[in-house]
């Protein structure tokens, strides 16, 4: 969400329009502010009696998993389950995708071997392709 205009600027624009008789369109062009914004400030002043910006209630994303030690213990006890089963067993409503992100965050992997294995397909010493020429 964008940062609101400064309170001092808001007051000066309203004063210029109300006390000095400056037209709203002229004030918007001079200051580079939308006329709609100035109209919103007048509506705000009519409602609240002041042009202070309304407080923002945005607190950020609410995380489903907050106790990571408890989650690690949960994963150790249910390591044989799928992500969908773990999501159902977890206390609270949690999706499979959230469970996947949380498992990745703690570094849990389902990989059985720590390193990649070489391919089992190797060339046989005595085998060759038949020749197509007579």
The average pLDDT across 90-106 equals 89
Q: What are phi and psi of 106, to 5 degrees?
A: -90, 0
The average pLDDT across 7-31 equals 91
Are 38 and 13 within 8 A, CB to CB?
A: yes
CA 17/CA 24 separation, integer angstroms:
6
Residue 125, pLDDT > 80, answer no
Strands (DSSP E) found in 22-100: none
Domain ranges (residues) in the chain: 7-48, 68-105
Residue 28, pLDDT > 60, answer yes
pTM of the entire predicted model:
0.45
| pLDDT value of residue 131 | 63
CA 31/CA 17 separation, integer angstroms:
12
Helix (H) or strand (E) holding 17: helix 7-18
């Amino acid at each position: 969400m964008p940062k609101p205009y400064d309170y001092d600027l808001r007051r000066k624009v309203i004063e210029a329009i109300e006390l000095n008789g400056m037209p709203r369109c002229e004030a918007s062009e001079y200051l580079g502010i939308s006329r709609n914004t100035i109209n919103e400030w007048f509506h705000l002043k009519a409602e609240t009696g002041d042009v202070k910006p309304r407080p923002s209630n945005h607190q950020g994303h609410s995380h489903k998993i907050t106790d990571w030690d408890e989650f690690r213990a949960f994963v150790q006890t249910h390591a044989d389950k799928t992500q969908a089963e773990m999501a159902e067993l977890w206390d609270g409503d949690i999706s499979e995708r959230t469970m996947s992100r949380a498992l990745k965050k703690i570094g849990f992997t389902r990989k059985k071997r720590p390193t990649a294995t070489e391919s089992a397909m190797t060339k046989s010493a005595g085998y060759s392709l038949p020749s197509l020429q007579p």
